[in-house]
Copies of this chain bind each other. A is one copy, B any other.
């Protein structure tokens, strides 16, 4: 075991490195969102992260790797959390209300949504990005949804195979909200919460009719 001093040193170093890496990823995220992938300048990212330009290349080989790191840092944790909750066995309604809606709300109002817009725009030209995203986010996400839908069917929350076959449909309003907020909110505001509640009530309505009454006013 190294001496306390040595350990402190080592710890500081590695801790410093991790902190720096995170700072760079955060800065890159902000710049990419503001300028887009191609137009974002490494120099600006560096300045925002309070490091020198060259430092970025100590952590990432190129711009593309920065993008990857963003997806892994910003989106993956949400997916993991959602998947864990899905696996823990609650009802679909609980999942939607306790997890999907809050996530949607957050997506629509924070950087995370911007990451998705960014990805949609850039993935065509950077196939690796789409691949990372599919593997890290889409695949596990859809798997979790399928599991939930299956259970929901057994419990009578849901009928039909539509959402089993196309689990994407369950997050379609999420996509819609993220895009709307990013592109058109300034022309016409969208009450994401209210829209999502309405949508999911429709989805789950088989069990209890007239639930559309219970749509809560969005924040």
- Residues of chain A at the chain B interface (Cβ within 8 Å): 33-36, 38-39, 114, 117-125, 130-131, 133-134, 138-139, 159-162, 165-166, 168-169, 172-173, 175-176, 179-180, 182-184, 187-188, 190, 194-195, 198-199, 202-203, 212, 215
Contacts and interface: CB of A to CB of B under 8 A. Distances in A.
Contacts of A38: 36, 38-39
B122 A120 contact: no
Contact of A175 (B124, B162, B172, B184): B172
Closest 6 CB pairs of A and B: A121-B121, A38-B38, A172-B172, A162-B198, A160-B212, A166-B195
Contacts of A198: 160, 162, 165-166, 169
Nearest to A159: B212
Nearest to A169: B199
B162 A169 contact: no
B130 A183 contact: yes
Nearest to A142: B188
A182 B124 contact: yes
A139 B203 CA distance: 27
A105 to B, nearest CB: 15
Contacts of A169: 173, 176, 195, 198-199
A217 B134 CA distance: 26
22 contacts: A33-B124, A38-B39, A117-B120, A120-B120, A120-B179, A120-B182, A120-B183, A121-B122, A123-B183, A124-B182, A139-B187, A161-B212, A166-B190, A166-B194, A166-B195, A166-B198, A168-B180, A168-B195, A169-B173, A169-B176, A202-B202, A202-B203
A155 B36 CA distance: 46
A184 B130 contact: yes
Contact of A117 (B35, B121, B195, B215): B121
